[in-house]
Chain A
Amino acid sequence: MSFRRRNRAQEQTPQPMSAPPQQPALERPYLVIDALGRKCPIPIIMLAERIREVPIGQVVAVLADDVAARTDVPAWCRMKSQGFVAEETLQQGWAFHIRRSY
């Protein structure tokens, strides 16, 4: 996918905590993790490993095409008290948006 890692430039200028609720478009992720072609639990391992690179309050997106990720990403967020923002359907697989909450 074309939008992986496009946010590196923002590292010095963190965005405000959250987008206004009425805004329909998804907040641009600070970091995109490409787990396409990887079976669960690899996408979850990658997410757990790399969410630390994201400042608190920012969004990380995981790209995955293992259908198990549709259950596992939100369940991981619930277990780890991270903020699941949305699931976005891509041409291949999905982008899962997660807000780092701590």
Chain B
Amino acid sequence: MSYLDAASTEPLHPAARAALLTALESGWADPARLYGPARNARMLLDQARARVAGVLGVRPDEISFTTSGTQAVHLAVLGGLRARRRVGRHLVVSAVEHSSVLQAAGQHERDGGKVTTVGVDRSGRVDPAAVAAAIRPDTALVCLQSANHEVGTVQPVAEVAEICRSARIPLFVDAAQSAGRVVVPDGWSMLAASAHKWGGPAGVGIMVIRKNTRWRSPAPDDEREGRRVPGFENVPGAYAAAAALEAYSSELAADGPRLSALVDQIRERVPKLIEDVEVVGDPVHRLPHLVTFSCLYVEGEALLTELDRLGFAVSSGSSCTADTLRPSHVLEAMGVITHGNVRVSLPRGAKASDVDRFLGVLPEAVTRLRRVGFADFRG
């Protein structure tokens, strides 16, 4: 099986496995207590915080470990809104944010807040001018992803950060798809990331709140994680997440261009190999490891199942389609075909031969399914 779905989750990095085993042995105690094993746990947690801060280029006391990327998003967005309630209750989000951001926005709206959704162009990119136009005197927070999780388009974070800075409005960046792979431009106030996307263990998220950013927990009071995240700390998880982030980001700095060239190859060859296919997302301003294309006249799920049978783990940008029976909100916002969608995302060390074999079997799989689809319709 060739695993080409790193955007869903990256396989556990060996550095994370080693760190996890170490920390399970020596970091199990309550880091809030005062005896020896507790001090060990505290030390591992402090180290983890410092190492994550080092890679992200922030101060250790700006980092909180959460139980997932989604929890980090929820706490940052709702806590950022809560802290600025007196300024206003208006929230600006892009139309292509991860569902965790949009769900937090939905809750804010149900609680009486106002939300403005900023659209994207055909490549999935937000226009900074549209963000500027959406800002009002009562805007409490702006949310923008660093890069899109379905199509890989990198968003103009630096430009939007500058707009927010001059309007004195905090910017929350969801960096789940890019952290460890691409450096996030500076100028944001809050950030969220998820360890399993860079080869860390599942169940560890990162929330960063920059100094002099106002934030008030939307959850009941709890003294853990500097009163920012409720619940007993997952010290082994945090320690492993930090080890994975350091290892992964230094490897990607070297291997990123090779992965990006493989993605270029897919982008270039798929439309030549298969008729009626559109490669979506920005061809230049994109994540190094991710490419998405849509094949006309093919049902996405059938194609993913067929590719699984042929030995390829790939995904559809619209990963929730089967459950929700809704097309992907990202593809919808871009105005591109929502069916027949395939997202290929290369994990660390992905081989050129895997990509070659994938491109070798894809055209026939699509042709076969199209034949079935048209035959079904004709009866």
Contact = CB atoms under 8 A, between A and B. Distances in A.
A86 B278 CA distance: 23
B374 interface: yes
A74 B327 CA distance: 14
A61 B246 CA distance: 56
A53 interface: no
Contact of A45 (B326, B332, B336, B377): B377
A56 B298 CA distance: 26
Contacts of A78: 335
B180 interface: no
B331 interface: yes
Q: Is the interface of B mostly helix, strand, loop or mixed?
A: loop
A40 to B, nearest CB: 5
Interface residues of A, number: 20
Contact of B336 (A44, A48, A49, A75): A75
A71 B341 CA distance: 13
B303 to A, nearest CB: 11
A79 B327 CA distance: 19
B373 A45 contact: yes
A71 B378 CA distance: 24
Contacts of B298: 41
B338 interface: yes
B366 to A, nearest CB: 12
Contacts, number: 57
Contacts of A19: none
A11 interface: no
B339 A72 contact: yes
Contacts of A45: 297, 373-374, 377
Nearest to A70: B332
Interface in B319-365: 326-327, 331-332, 335-340
A49 B337 contact: no
Contacts of B335: 71, 74-75, 78
B327 A42 contact: no
A17 interface: no
Q: Which of A42, A74, A80 has the most CB of B within 10 A?
A: A42
Interface string B116-143: 0000000000000000000000000000
B351 to A, nearest CB: 32
B299 interface: yes
A79 B296 contact: yes
A49 B339 contact: no
A10 B326 CA distance: 37
B331 A44 contact: no
24 contacts: A39-B299, A41-B299, A41-B339, A42-B377, A44-B297, A45-B373, A45-B374, A46-B377, A49-B378, A70-B332, A71-B331, A71-B332, A71-B337, A72-B337, A72-B339, A75-B278, A75-B337, A75-B338, A76-B296, A76-B337, A78-B335, A79-B276, A79-B278, A80-B276
Given A39-B299, A41-B297, A78-B335, 11 more contacts: A42-B373, A44-B297, A46-B377, A68-B327, A68-B338, A68-B339, A71-B327, A71-B331, A71-B335, A72-B339, A75-B337
